[in-house]
A and B are shown apart, each in its own frame.
Chain A
Amino acid sequence: MSATRQHLPAATTTPPDRLNEDWRFGRPQSFARDLIARLTSTKESDDTDLLSCDAPTDWICPQLPQDAFGGVSIASGFIEELALQRLSSTLALRIPEKADAEEHPIRIHCAARALTCAGIHVEVLPGAHVRIIEEHEHTRDSALVALRSYTVHPGATLRLELRELGSGSSRALNISRISCAESSCVRQLTTYNHHLWAREETTAFLSAPAADLLLLSANRLHSGEWLDQRTRQLHTSPGAKSRLLYKNIVDADATAIFGGNIRVQPGAHESDSYLSNLNLLLSPDATVHSLPGLEILADRVRCSHGSASAPIDPEQLFYLLSRGIGETEARAMLADAFLAEVHSLFNQA
């Protein structure tokens, strides 16, 4: 256990510091201790496969490819390695070339128990069009480490929805990589519901021209809940496009943390990218730390980033009230409206 203790993550609940890259990619704060304790304990075992998928059986591969996961975490490498060693639930899915599964989404279901380490590896082959709904369903006090890898080949489209269905006392860590090939189109929407603690580390690779990626997240955080999201949009090829919009409604004493970065590598000219984190604060006790950033090492790029956290606009609230809508209803309508933009972006044709 002493080895573990050395690696115990430092708390990163301090406010962000623009000059401190350590903050942006800071290690998960103290909640992760519990996760690490479970990962290093021999007691917690999880032998049964808790992943299921309703895709046609010949799309499901019997084996994971070599090096399916690993090396993409944002500051949780230690946890990623521990999880790799005890990966008990795995799924490898290959959507065949030119397959059309847009109309009827493929469902991936993961049941999280006391400790579930899951690996989900999906390849969308050239020209395929697919919609996937990935649900992580939690029980009381459950903990999940999910290693996710989505590779979208040339000309393919993927519309992916990740629904984290927490139990109020659950913890989740999603370490994801999304690779976008030439002329691929990828849209991901994540929603985190009712987790005591959830962390997302998403790295997107824009490694070919005309790749088009949209990363979305829409969350409501209630009393006592923490959501910590770290993202990277890595442009290594010229002429790709990536957009990110993460929105949170932060209520009571909940905490939302966001650290995001667009990196345009040398030579990735004409990259088109943005990054935006917006938070609606429903309570004076809510905490938000947000630090979006840009690192641009190429020319002729169009990149922007932004972050804003604010309470409900009093003029909007007054307008609804002045038409006779009760205050509770009016606030609920404005909260729904705040997230509506994310859902409409995801659902746009």
Chain B
Amino acid sequence: MSLIIRNLHARVKDGAEILRGVDLELPAGEVHAVMGPNGSGKSTLSKVLCGHPDYEVTEGSAELDGQDLFAMSVDERSRAGLFLAFQYPAEVPGVSNANFLRAAMKARLPQGEEPDAVAFYKQLRARMQQLGMDAKMTARSVNEGFSGGEKKRNDVLQMLMLEPKYAILDETDSGLDVDALRIVSDGVNAMRAPFRSFLIITHYKRLLDYITPDVVHIFSSGRIVRTGGRDLVDYIEEHGFDFLKNEQ
């Protein structure tokens, strides 16, 4: 059981190539961190995996538990267990948080079945409490007028509710205050399980002090250029990404 990405090339539709041969294997149960300079393609990788319509895969493959990821539609990928907490979550005016989540839960049930309303709201309230979110947020439109940190928490709330097998967190720590960072990290740590993995994209060591990664990847110019253990995080914290220049 794993997410396997091989020689992945992708470009902006009718535009420049951004991913230039990504190789990555994320086995079930592991936490991998991805670090890399601004504009190197980290968000593009996560959106390509989810099937964002702006991008086109030109070469390579991705398998999710043995299934061809790129043969699935965006919603199928989600129901197959893939989740992305966005760097910039979209605002959806007019769709309440509660209805949005209920629709997402319903999509996971057999046709015609509805989630049990009492159990749903009980779980929702508990998860929101866990994340320190105001109960009033359930009635508000998805992310509309939310602060940066509130949006991030809202994406994490969705992750806690949908319990994906493969969760990608794209700079979820950016914009979180210190307390929120701890709360979100605790949430992720509580979800760690032998059947679940995380790909954590971040610029900061601080998050990786809370969520200890098994593997660290350095992303540069559309590829993974180095893979190692936690010590890579300390190395980058100290030296930055300058060393990449000599390697290319």
Contact = CB atoms under 8 A, between A and B. Distances in A.
Given A314-B53, A325-B103, A320 B92 contact: yes
Contact of B94 (A318, A321, A330, A336): A336
Interface of B: 50-53, 73-75, 77-79, 84, 86, 89-95, 99-101, 103-104, 107-108, 141-142, 158, 162
Given A315-B90, A316-B90, A340-B94, A322 B99 contact: no
13 contacts: A313-B90, A314-B53, A318-B90, A319-B86, A319-B90, A321-B51, A321-B74, A322-B77, A322-B84, A329-B107, A333-B100, A334-B94, A334-B95
Contacts of A319: 86, 89-90, 92, 142
A5 interface: no
Given A314-B53, A318-B52, A322-B50, A327 B75 contact: yes
Interface string A303-322: 00000000001111011111
Given A318-B52, A318-B74, A329-B107, A324 B95 contact: no
A321 B75 contact: yes
Nearest to A333: B95
B99 A318 contact: no
Given A316-B90, A333-B99, A334-B95, A323 B162 contact: yes
Contacts of B104: 323-325
A315 B84 CA distance: 14
A333 B103 contact: yes
Contact of B78 (A315, A323, A333, A336): A323
Contacts of A313: 90
B94 A341 contact: yes
A337 B100 CA distance: 11
A66 to B, nearest CB: 46
A56 interface: no
Most chain B CB within a 10 A radius of its CB, from A313, A316, A327, A334: A316
Contacts of B107: 323-326, 329
Nearest to A315: B90
B95 A337 contact: yes
Contacts of B75: 321-327, 330
Nearest to B161: A323
A330 B104 CA distance: 10
A249 B204 CA distance: 45
Contacts of B99: 333
Contact of A316 (B79, B84, B92, B162): B92
Nearest to A319: B90
Nearest to B81: A324
A346 interface: no
A313 B91 CA distance: 10
A322 B75 CA distance: 5
Contacts of A326: 75, 107
A318 B108 CA distance: 17
Contacts of A315: 90
Contacts of B74: 318, 321-322
A320 B99 CA distance: 11
Contacts of B100: 320, 323, 333
